[in-house]
Homo-oligomer: A and B are copies of this chain.
Amino acid sequence: MSTRSKSPPTTAADTPRRAADRIRDTAFDLFYREGIRAIGVEEIVNRAGVTKPSLYRAYESKDELIADYLRDYDERFCRSFEAPAAEHPGDPKGQLLAYLDRLAARASAEGYRGCGLTNAVIEYPDPAHPAHQVAVDSKHALRKRLGEMCRSMGARDADELADSLLLLIEGSYVSGQAFGEGGPARALGVAARKLIDAAL
């Protein structure tokens, strides 16, 4: 992460930190929870307890900050997606289901805000916008990764199974936001298992 500290001899690990770090963390939180277009740079710096020039010293534009937020989101997503690998070594089906089950729980709980990358694609439909590009790249990587997992679990039409699962996953992201607690994402686990088992 960003603990390249060479100078903070103090125990700065709680609140103070560098301005750029506070901006990044605050932007991450606000962009994710409230939406990117809904949040102005002014609000970010206010909540971060810094000032605008500090933001523009670290990022050359708001779009750059947005792109950085999305790259950060993608990184965290990848970690959380691959995390179950350790618990289920050599068991791609188990790994995938572990992620899916945790997703189902989060997505059918109150206050869920879906996937920041998916949301970004919708907020920025213009393919030329950096936010759109970063988010779409991430989605392509996910699709590919899903295909590999399905292939390595010996599915008949691995790509088709992967796409079906991707639809269920993306569906969970967005319907979690529309339905809140007890939303349709509760069906994610069983549906995925049915599709996987039918393809093995």
Where the two chains meet, the residues of A that have a C-beta atom closer than 8 Å to any C-beta of B are 33-35, 37-38, 113-114, 118-119, 121-126, 135-136, 139-140, 143, 160-164, 166-175, 177-179, 183-188, 190-191, 194-195, 198
Known: A143-B184, A163-B184. A33 touches B198 (CB 8 A): no
Query: Which of the residues B163, B172, B178 comes within 8 Å of A118, measured between beta carbons?
Result: B178
Total copies of this chain within the assembly = 2
- Please determine whether A118 and B167 come into contact, CB atoms closer than 8 angstroms: no
Known: A122-B177, A174-B173. A167 touches B168 (CB 8 A): yes
Could you tell me the distance between the alpha carbons of A114 and B125 in the complex, rounded to whole angstroms?
A: 10
- Please determine whether B119 and A122 come into contact, CB atoms closer than 8 angstroms: yes
- Tell me the smallest distance from the CB of A135 to a CB of chain B, in Å: 7
- Tell me the smallest distance from the CB of A196 to a CB of chain B, in Å: 11
Query: Which of the residues B35, B114, B184 comes within 8 Å of A167, measured between beta carbons?
Result: B184
**Nearest B-chain residue to A187, judged by Cβ:** B163
Would you list 10 pairs from A and B whose C-beta atoms are within 8 A, ordered by A residue? A33-B125, A35-B122, A122-B174, A163-B183, A166-B171, A167-B168, A171-B172, A173-B174, A194-B195, A195-B195
- Chain B contacts of A126 at CB under 8 A? 34
- Please determine whether A164 and B179 come into contact, CB atoms closer than 8 angstroms: no
- Please determine whether B191 and A121 come into contact, CB atoms closer than 8 angstroms: no
Q: Residue among A124, A172, A191 with the most chain B CB within 10 A?
A: A191
- Tell me the smallest distance from the CB of A108 to a CB of chain B, in Å: 10
